[in-house]
Amino acid sequence: MTQYVKNLDLAVDMHISLVQMHQYASQGLTEGKDFRTAIQDAIELVQKERAASGALALRLRFRSFFKQSCSLTEHNLDQAIRDWENLRLRKGAAAHQESAGKQQEQKERQERREAAREERAEKERRKAERREARLLAKETKQERLRSKRQAFALRKLRSFQAFVKVRQAHFEKLRKKQLLKTWGVAELPECLQLCSFQGRDDCLCAVLRLSDGRLQAGPYRKRLQEALRDLQELRVIQQRKGDEVLCEEMQRRDAVAMTAFFMQSLN
């Protein structure tokens, strides 16, 4: 308000009324009145109180001030309240837009974080897949190498076994040929075995198994018929007289044979 008065006391009195008007308006808003009703009731109450006390009436005039400009046109309370309500609506819209913008920005920021997190997770997944693929490829390669080595070792083993069989057959053929050449038979009779005296496999001897499981060899013979005769005679002695007499007879015959070999060497 702009009101000229004659002295300072009147100005102070009007200022007090304006303060009371503010208090009444605040009280009305607290009680739940809308802004327009609270302001109108406060003005009406103050004007009545001043009229009752005989004080000078307040001449209230209103101007609307905005951020970018101000209206210098004076108008009534209704127009001022409409301007204020419009301003509140604009501020509310601006605040809502600002809040929506912040929410949108926050949402976009959250989406960027989610996208970044998903991208990191995807990178980790691809990294894990590549690592697993490398391990699988390495295991596959090692398995192929093992298979190749096993196949190679199996071929070598079969080749060696075939070679051994061939050599065994060859040696067996040579053995039979040598037996046939030396002793006149391709296979020695059972319980006769080759032995070496003056040369390799140059003698034959009979071999009998004693009752305790030990093998006892008879005298060395240069002819197959002599070794067969020893075998037959020694078997009869073992059956009739036992192992002790058999061993004594083998020792006696061995001494006789060694003496004969010695005498032949002297001649």
CB half-sphere exposure, 88, CA atoms < 13 A:
7
Instruction: Give the mean model confidence (pLDDT) for residues 148-160.
Output: 91
% of the chain surpassing 70 pLDDT: 85
Residues 167 and 229 occupy one common structural domain: no
Residues 10 and 103 occupy one common structural domain: no
Residues 173 and 260 occupy one common structural domain: no
pLDDT value at residue 228 = 92
Q: Is 254 exposed, middle or buried (0-12, 13-18, 19+ CB in 10 A)?
A: middle
- End residue of a domain, out of 184, 205, 237: 184
pLDDT, tens digit, 9 for 90 and up, residues 215-249: 999 899 988 999 999 999 999 999 999 999 999 99
Residues 110 and 179 occupy one common structural domain: yes
Residues 158 and 202 occupy one common structural domain: no
Domain boundaries, position 226 = 188-266
Please tell me the distance from the alpha carbon of residue 143 to that of residue 153, in angstroms, as a whole number.
Answer: 15
Q: How many domains does one find in the chain?
A: 3
Residues 123 and 143 occupy one common structural domain: yes
Contacts of 222 (CB under 8 A, 6+ apart): 202, 203, 204
DSSP string computed for 191-248:
TEEEE-SSSTT-EEEEEEE-TTS-EEE---BSSHHHHHHHHHHHHHHHHHH-HHHHHH
Q: Which has more pLDDT, 193 or 100?
A: 193
Measured in degrees and rounded to the nearest 5, phi and psi for residue 193 equal -140, 155
Query: Which of 129-133, 140-144, 257-261 is least confident?
Result: 257-261
Residues 37 and 132 occupy one common structural domain: no
Number of neighbours of residue 107 by Cβ within 10 angstroms:
10
Alpha-carbon dihedral 26, 27, 33, 39, rounded to 10 degrees: -50
- End residue of a domain, out of 132, 163, 184: 184
pLDDT, tens digit, 9 for 90 and up, residues 192-222: 999 888 888 888 999 999 999 999 998 999 8
pLDDT value at residue 100 = 77
pLDDT, tens digit, 9 for 90 and up, residues 39-88: 888 888 888 888 888 887 777 766 655 555 544 444 566 666 776 667 66
Q: Which has more pLDDT, 12 or 254?
A: 254
Are the CB atoms for 60 and 42 separated by under 8 Å?
no
Q: Whole-prediction pTM value?
A: 0.41
